[in-house]
Structure 1
Amino acid sequence: MPDAGQVSDGFSDRRRELGNTEQNWCRAVSSGTGVTVLALQMAKSPSETSVLSDILLKIQKSHPILRSKLHYCRNSKNFSFLIASAPRQVRLEVHDARATAEILRNLSAGGFPSLSPLQLILEKELNANNWSDPGDFPSDGVEVFYASVYALSDARAVVVLRFHTSVCDRTTAEELLMELMELVEEKEGGAAKKEIENEGEGEKGIESLIPNGMGKKTLWSHGMDMLGYSLNSFRLTNLKFKNTKSARRSEVVRFQINARCTASILAICKSKGIKLCGALAAAALLAARSTKSQSSDKKKYGVVTLTDCRSILDPPLPAHHFGFYHSAILNIHSVKGTENLWDLAKICYSVFEEYKKCNRHFSDMADLNFLMSKAVDNPSLTASSSLRSALISVFEDPVIDNSKKMQQKIGVEDYIGCASAHGIGPSIGMFDTVRNGELDCACVYPAPLHSRDQITELVDRVKRLLIDGCF
């Protein structure tokens, strides 16, 4: 158990030092990568904020880590969680219809008035970073999640939940969305939701739960792998940088593929013994290679694949155990541009799968964390001080959402979930969902390092490759 301690503002139970991965996310979030946002467009009156407050209070009761605060020690420069013994009322930031209209006018003034209100608000929240300067944290810590309501009219609103990624990986966001919708359904007369027991949530980081022996590596292996990763990073090909000088922010390009084509893509993946992440990575590699000269030279690109480790930890954790329990595997692929999509997809997935079988998602964790933190501290180590670590990041498994009936019942018109990526990270972070049979991808990128037109063109190429690959 974590050490007990007395902390002001109602904290009287637990203080837990963050593990290395969580510490690293704190550094990344400070730089602009790792603000996780879940934005829902609701056909509901924004005046019903008390209902949302009650629901968030109930979620906090089930999930201790969401009632924690993030504390920064100025002497050790380390972070810790201060976990309260009881949930506290979440303060909602509410924007009425007039204020929201003014916000949307200002956001769309950048030259992209065609973006939906949901996407404009999502991007605004991705760049609202309460954790950018740990030195300014209050002595009793700063909240790890925030909630906002933007009224679009008297009958419609966008509800936004914003999290520090150290407490919210993609599985957490997925589970929280389902819990949120089930609680809304319960409030409207549906069946009572069974209360979740989450004893011990927030008490251990991923490093403390790695099965014995799986994370071990000799000092020589550590040194060789660090050298290999470092040298290969200098050889990676990047998307063309548009503006390396101006302040950065995260923006989103979204693409969707209909149910018929999605079913075909998934069927081909299954027949070839690969997962969707291999096809997404291959399409992105071919799309990126097409932006370079049409020479026969091969270009090297980095692909980061994120995998949820909960089921293979010791002890295993259920999906509703909130926190950050993903690990990353970095693979480098040489692409000529003339490869067949599915042949390249097979290579992308097979190499990732082989690394995972060798436990590289555990044994390389310390190496990748160290290199990531060094890049944050020394931007000049990356090309044009871009802090780009790969071309693309994908998730091993997509989110599968078949809750259309529930969403219609409670008034969810649309939603997007993703995390910011303009500090350190890939040129494109791909957040894929198979939603009621249709592939829906939010592609996050650092602007103006890359432009919206540039990424839209690239993403359109990815979509075309996937659809053409169906036939």
Structure 2
Amino acid sequence: MGDHASNSPPEPLEPRARPAGGTEYSWCKAVPTGTGITVLTLILSKPPDLSLLQNTFNKFQSSHPLLRSKLRFDPTSSTFSFITPPSPQTQIQPFDLPSTSRILQAHPNAHSIDPHHLILEHELNQNTWRDNDKPLDADADMFFASVYALSDARWVVALRFHTSVCDRASAVALLRELLEEMCGGGSGGTEGEFEGKTEVSLGIEDYIPSGKDRKAFWARGVDVLGYSLNSFRLSQLDFLDVESPRFSQVVRLQMSADETSKLVDGCKTRGIKLCSAIAAAGVLAAHASKHLTDSQKEKYAVVTLMDCRPILEPILSNNHIGFYHSAILNTHDVTGDEQLWELAIRCYTSFNNAKKYNKHFTDMSDLNFLMCKAIDNPGLTPSSSLRTAFISVFEEPVTDESSEKHREVGLEDYVGCSSVHGVGPSIAVFDTIRDGKLDCACVYPSPLHSREQMLGLIDSMKKVLVGAGNLVENGKNFTTT
């Protein structure tokens, strides 16, 4: 009897489950509306090894249970949970030349925009978390992988994530591990050195240091009311079409190494961060686009996203996959004769002061609450646009350098960003300094804003930034006039 029992097959592992945290819940609400679809695309000049890629993605999911989790919605309690099976689930979806061609030809600007760019936008708008034919309680995957053949000499590898399980720092960590595997420097298909191999990572709220998020009840009420009332006084970039269905599009702001170096030096000289200069340039460009008088004042909202991993308890490494960013919202009054460095210093000072008062923790639940309220009640936002700010930026840029190994595998370019056509800003900036050159993927909701409108805005932003950098050596300020 005992021998029979010992020879019995082991009991199958049961899926694990945990409820979504507060910030994760807000993303679970946002993604079906169109905001929070995170995409990484890599353009290759050599055919990718599908077997190696599949093994790498299996490794990702084995190392990070959240990436192999499924999202479950309970309609009776209106709650979300992550259901985590014991083994990887994602399979690469390949698109051959005819399949890719059909996708590209469906785009209205197929002949004037680079195919890689079109695939990026196509992936940003593949909302598998919004399926009207799917039962409300059906489980949804959180990670998808595709390979597109653009020609006999170009391919795109695309990874798509639900943002609740993959913030920008997570995406960067996965990108670097993917490139390491592709270049032959990985760990040969083992689980690697990522954290979270056996346990499902917790939400950010569970890692906030004790007392850092404490706020008096009356203060919370005042702040929520203040954020709400302020939203009615905020200026927005002109809306072009508030009725048609929305989707995300991307334009890129790119600067040379010399231009980038001068801009970064200007920030260092003034003791501020690049994000504040980018935000200030965006605000000045938006104000200038309206052709107002120099003395006419407008109030713009800037959201700065910061990676909280280094200040959580315990400290989390950059490779700890999940969503661990927090947002700080500041508003700024701007006139047409504003100077770039003056406004950038104000932007950074406001952000830094908010950090000193722990507003990235104390206001987290307030901003999540207001985000969910906007989703449920679009009429609370200007023209029911779901715009909660003009621009969002990240506190720190991603810094990367190309290598000979990257060239050996045929890596030509890559872009990482997230969709914003649901609730969110008019322009979300995902900045990278690659080989010393600033490269920003700027995502916006269309047709609320048009590509022509955004290209004009980005061109104006670049002129402001380049002009400010060129005058750094003389200790001068650059204005938009």
Q: Pick the TM interval, shorter chain.
A: over 0.9
Return the alpha-carbon distance in structure 1 between the equivalents of residues 129 and 186 of structure 2.
Answer: 35
Q: For residue 38 of structure 2, what is the aligned residue in structure 1?
A: 36
Deviation, 1:249, is 0.3
Pair 1:425-2:420 in alignment: no
Q: For residue 67 of structure 1, what is the aligned residue in structure 2?
A: 68
Return the alpha-carbon distance in structure 2 between the equivalents of residues 59 and 191 of structure 1.
Answer: 10
Q: Is the 8 A contact 2:181 2:187 kept in 1?
A: no
Pair 1:85-2:62 in alignment: no
Deviation, 1:74, is 1.3
Name the amino acid aligned to 2:91.
R
SS in 2 for 1:470: helix
**What does 1:227-246 align with in structure 2 at a 5 Å threshold?**
227-246=225-244
Name the amino acid aligned to 1:208.
D
Deviation, 1:196, is 3.0
Task: State the Cα deviation string for residues 317-376 of structure 1 (Å, max 9, x = none).
Answer: 101000000000000000002111111111101110000110000000111011110000
Q: Is the 8 A contact 2:21 2:204 kept in 1?
A: yes
Return the alpha-carbon distance in structure 2 between the equivalents of residues 245 and 415 of structure 1.
Answer: 33
Q: After the TM superposition, which of the residue ranges 443-452 and 284-293 deviates more from structure 2?
A: 284-293
Equivalent of residue 226 in structure 1, options 218, 224, 227? 224
Q: For residue 94 of structure 2, what is the aligned residue in structure 1?
A: 94
Q: Is the 8 A contact 2:326 2:361 kept in 1?
A: yes
Q: For residue 254 of structure 1, what is the aligned residue in structure 2?
A: 252
Pair 1:53-2:54 in alignment: yes
How large is the Cα RMSD of the aligned pairs? Answer: 2.0
Residues 337 and 407 of structure 1: CA distance in aligned 2, closer, same or farther (over 3 Å): farther
Q: For residue 461 of structure 2, what is the aligned residue in structure 1?
A: 462
Q: For residue 412 of structure 1, what is the aligned residue in structure 2?
A: 411
Deviation, 1:133, is 4.5
Return the alpha-carbon distance in structure 1 between the equivalents of residues 372 and 85 of structure 2.
Answer: 29
Return the alpha-carbon distance in structure 1 between the equivalents of residues 282 and 165 of structure 2.
Answer: 29
Q: Is the 8 A contact 1:253 1:443 kept in 2?
A: yes
Q: For residue 327 of structure 2, what is the aligned residue in structure 1?
A: 328
SS in 1 for 2:82: strand
SS in 2 for 1:290: helix
Q: For residue 304 of structure 1, what is the aligned residue in structure 2?
A: 303
Q: Is the 8 A contact 1:30 1:134 kept in 2?
A: no
Return the alpha-carbon distance in structure 1 between the equivalents of residues 441 and 283 of structure 2.
Answer: 17
Q: After the TM superposition, which of the residue ranges 112-121 and 166-175 deviates more from structure 2?
A: 112-121
Q: For residue 396 of structure 2, what is the aligned residue in structure 1?
A: 397
- TM-score under structure 2 length normalisation: 0.92
Q: After the TM superposition, which of the residue ranges 137-146 and 329-338 deviates more from structure 2?
A: 137-146
Q: Is the 8 A contact 1:38 1:415 kept in 2?
A: yes
Residues 22 and 30 of structure 1: CA distance in aligned 2, closer, same or farther (over 3 Å): same
Q: Is the 8 A contact 1:201 1:322 kept in 2?
A: no
SS in 2 for 1:297: coil
Task: State the Cα deviation string for residues 73-96 of structure 1 (Å, max 9, x = none).
Answer: 1111111111222334x2221111
Q: For residue 111 of structure 2, what is the aligned residue in structure 1?
A: 113
Q: Is the 8 A contact 2:75 2:137 kept in 1?
A: no
Q: For residue 359 of structure 1, what is the aligned residue in structure 2?
A: 358
Q: After the TM superposition, which of the residue ranges 174-183 and 409-418 deviates more from structure 2?
A: 409-418
Q: Is the 8 A contact 1:67 1:83 kept in 2?
A: yes
**Unaligned stretches of 5+ residues in structure 2:** 1-11, 471-481
Task: State the Cα deviation string for residues 239-286 of structure 1 (Å, max 9, x = none).
Answer: 110000000000001121000110111111111111100100010010
Task: State the Cα deviation string for residues 35-57 of structure 1 (Å, max 9, x = none).
Answer: 000011012225x3222111111
Name the amino acid aligned to 1:292.
K
Q: For residue 479 of structure 2, what is the aligned residue in structure 1?
A: none
SS in 2 for 1:469: helix
**Unaligned stretches of 5+ residues in structure 1:** 1-9
Residues 91 and 440 of structure 1: CA distance in aligned 2, closer, same or farther (over 3 Å): same
Deviation, 1:30, is 1.0
Q: After the TM superposition, which of the residue ranges 418-427 and 66-75 deviates more from structure 2?
A: 66-75
Q: For residue 12 of structure 1, what is the aligned residue in structure 2?
A: 14
Name the amino acid aligned to 1:334.
D
Deviation, 1:406, is 3.3
SS in 2 for 1:283: helix
Return the alpha-carbon distance in structure 2 between the equivalents of residues 135 and 354 of structure 1.
Answer: 47
Equivalent of residue 130 in structure 1, options 128, 131, 140? 128
Q: After the TM superposition, which of the residue ranges 262-271 and 96-105 deviates more from structure 2?
A: 96-105
Q: For residue 104 of structure 1, what is the aligned residue in structure 2?
A: 104
Task: State the Cα deviation string for residues 438-461 of structure 1 (Å, max 9, x = none).
Answer: 000000000000011001100100
Q: Is the 8 A contact 1:11 1:82 kept in 2?
A: no
Q: Is the 8 A contact 1:72 1:135 kept in 2?
A: no
Q: Is the 8 A contact 2:397 2:433 kept in 1?
A: yes
Instruction: Tell me the matched-pair count.
Output: 458
Return the alpha-carbon distance in structure 2 between the equivalents of residues 72 and 372 of structure 1.
Answer: 19
SS in 2 for 1:136: coil
SS in 1 for 2:181: helix
Q: Is the 8 A contact 1:55 1:180 kept in 2?
A: yes
Residues 261 and 201 of structure 1: CA distance in aligned 2, closer, same or farther (over 3 Å): farther
Q: After the TM superposition, which of the residue ranges 65-74 and 226-235 deviates more from structure 2?
A: 65-74
Q: For residue 6 of structure 2, what is the aligned residue in structure 1?
A: none
Deviation, 1:197, is 4.1
Percent of aligned positions that are identical: 52
Deviation, 1:211, is 0.5
Higher alpha-carbon Rg: 2
**What does 1:143-158 align with in structure 2 at a 5 Å threshold?**
143-158=141-156
Residues 190 and 29 of structure 1: CA distance in aligned 2, closer, same or farther (over 3 Å): closer
Q: Is the 8 A contact 1:202 1:323 kept in 2?
A: no
Q: Is the 8 A contact 1:253 1:455 kept in 2?
A: yes
Q: Is the 8 A contact 2:29 2:375 kept in 1?
A: yes
Task: State the Cα deviation string for residues 190-242 of structure 1 (Å, max 9, x = none).
Answer: 99995434346533101111111110111110111011100000000011100
**What does 1:206-225 align with in structure 2 at a 5 Å threshold?**
206-225=204-223
Return the alpha-carbon distance in structure 1 between the equivalents of residues 317 and 185 of structure 2.
Answer: 25
Q: For residue 438 of structure 2, what is the aligned residue in structure 1?
A: 439
- TM-score under structure 1 length normalisation: 0.93
Residues 404 and 460 of structure 1: CA distance in aligned 2, closer, same or farther (over 3 Å): farther
Q: For residue 269 of structure 1, what is the aligned residue in structure 2?
A: 267
Q: After the TM superposition, which of the residue ranges 48-57 and 217-226 deviates more from structure 2?
A: 48-57
Return the alpha-carbon distance in structure 2 between the equivalents of residues 18 and 135 of structure 1.
Answer: 24
Equivalent of residue 23 in structure 1, options 19, 22, 25? 25
Q: For residue 340 of structure 2, what is the aligned residue in structure 1?
A: 341
Q: For residue 7 of structure 1, what is the aligned residue in structure 2?
A: none
Residues 83 and 190 of structure 1: CA distance in aligned 2, closer, same or farther (over 3 Å): closer
SS in 2 for 1:328: strand
